[in-house]
Chains A and B, each alone.
Chain A
């Protein structure tokens, strides 16, 4: 009896220990998030260079109507998705190939530790500085641009930063370089987690390496590929540092590399349009939440069913 009482006493420490985490989360993330939702229904900005405060006046869904009728939000969202896809598609293909090569018993590659170390390295580099490095190398007077012109790879009149697709391509290339090592390592861990016996028995049954890949490796890698896809998409939607520094805050030629986060930051920084910035981030939030929740339910199947089971048992015990 006394033992039981003691146990209950210990458990109250659980509340004390999670309290700081929960409090900080509520104050610094949850309340701001809810206030963003709230103010997206208000007219709330500073006029005349930030001196005259307008609002907050309730205007219902007008901000949302403005956001979508202006058309620039959809354009910037499109830019963001294009930039993300241009980096992500090659990233998954290259990472999958490299993960397969690194884990292949048949190839027996040497020096994989070296390659892995080098390829993961850009992931920890400051994106703003990395992007600035690319500006220095690929601007019209930049080192690599002039070098490529001298060799004759690109014509004398070519410009990386004044054309739509070269600019997008370089931004995508930076994202690719920063993330393909990380993805390779994740996929490698996934491949190494696959039971060798499965692949062996398939080969004994006469499956060739392509069949082994499409029928065994790929289906079993699905959860990790999904994880890579979702984390990359959530990060990609928030893309800011690299395009901002690379286009010097202008959004590139004809605004073709202006991302949604750059648009929002411009609204906050220069014109203090809290209402429109909030509305844009609510739309972005809803988009990412829908995507993330789908992933969350797929990835945490076990925990959710455990939680449901527990509640079911409790209900039955009450009866």
Chain B
């Protein structure tokens, strides 16, 4: 009886500030969400305004210069924005495919075959997952310089084959979804191991493949450090390099509307991809890092 009285008391005390608490929490969530939406909205608004209007001050309404800014940044001399978009897309797309395919292949091998050294390889990959990729990349850049092999996409793309983090996600996923009976059945039917992987395993793990492809594509699309050291040729630059180089220059010397348009072009594709697949992407974030 005593206990139930305490419970009743607690409920009364707890209930009263709940409304206040909720209001307070919604307020904070609203501020954070509002700040983020505001940033993206200003990006859009300013990408559609003329240089003079932007320098006059802030506006909440979009202007009429959207297409003009777009044309200006695309045709801007010595900036090669159009080439930059194409280069970035090419590198990110191929990297994404290589990363997901070979990570899945490696994860499948570690999961299925009981070959000698399997556990060692597994542990080694998990260990190198923690090695900061940019630091390892500095050595690669130095080697490439000393043999004079710079300005080449493939030295950025090929290393994507070995992505320990993607391997880790794939391993977790394959472990949880792949039934061994299917592989057995394929073997009985005379399918080669390589064909079994390509035609039976890959379709089963499609959900994980697509999420990891998006992650890999976005990471590659946004990547600045190593590409900026390897690529110097104007027409071969990727979008982040163009942005970094334009960013280093004085903002007064360049059309601000066109500048916003460039940021808009760099940011919006990933945002659109994200908004379409956000449910899967958010799920994919926790897939590998949280066990159980």
Contact = CB atoms under 8 A, between A and B. Distances in A.
Interface of A: 10-18, 20-22, 24-25, 28-29, 31-36, 39, 94, 98, 101, 106-107, 109, 114-122, 124-133, 135-137, 139, 141, 143-144, 146-147, 150, 177, 180, 182, 185-186, 188-190, 193, 206, 223-224, 227, 230-231, 234, 237-238, 240-241, 244-245, 248-249, 261, 264-265, 268-269, 272, 274, 277-278, 281, 284-285, 288-289, 292-293, 295-296, 300, 303-304, 306-307, 310
B263 A120 contact: no
Contact of B138 (A28, A128, A137, A277): A277
Contact of B139 (A146, A206, A249, A278): A278
A28 B131 CA distance: 13
Contacts of B197: 17
A146 B58 contact: yes
B119 A310 contact: yes
B96 interface: no
**Considering residues A14, A32, A120, A133, which has the most beta carbons from chain B within 10 angstroms of its beta carbon?**
A14
Classify chain B: how many residues form its interface, as a range: 35 or more
B132 A237 contact: yes
A35 B143 contact: yes
A119 B138 contact: no
Interface string B104-125: 0110111011110011111101
Nearest 8 CB-CB pairings of A with B: A14-B113, A32-B139, A292-B130, A17-B109, A36-B139, A14-B115, A25-B162, A189-B286
B57 A146 contact: yes
Nearest to A13: B193
Given A24-B162, A126-B240, A295-B130, 11 more contacts: A14-B114, A17-B105, A20-B102, A21-B102, A32-B140, A36-B142, A121-B278, A125-B222, A244-B244, A292-B130, A310-B119
Contacts of A272: 145
Interface in B243-263: 243-244, 246-252, 256, 259-260, 262-263
A33 B103 CA distance: 21
Given A24-B161, A127-B224, A240-B225, A135 B282 contact: no
Interface in B218-254: 218, 221-222, 224-225, 228-229, 239-240, 243-244, 246-252
A136 B256 contact: yes
A245 B270 contact: no
Interface stretch (B29-37, B65-73, B205-213): B29-37
B251 A135 contact: yes
Interface in B157-202: 158-159, 161-162, 164, 167, 187, 193-194, 197
B284 to A, nearest CB: 10
Interface in B137-152: 137-143, 145-146
A296 B263 contact: no
A292 B197 CA distance: 33
Contact of A265 (B102, B145, B225): B225
A144 B35 CA distance: 13
Contact of A18 (B25, B110, B274): B110
B1 interface: no
**Considering residues A16, A21, A122, A206, which has the most beta carbons from chain B within 10 angstroms of its beta carbon?**
A21
Given A126-B239, A278-B138, A234 B132 contact: yes
A296 to B, nearest CB: 6
B290 A177 contact: no
6 contacts: A20-B105, A24-B159, A29-B133, A109-B22, A132-B243, A238-B134
A126 B219 CA distance: 8
Given A17-B108, A227-B289, A303-B126, A281 B225 contact: no
A249 B278 CA distance: 34
B135 interface: yes
Contact of B243 (A185, A245, A249): A245
Contacts of A139: 251
Contacts of B292: 193
Contacts of B40: 121
A193 B259 CA distance: 45
B39 interface: yes
Given A29-B162, A35-B143, A106 B18 contact: yes
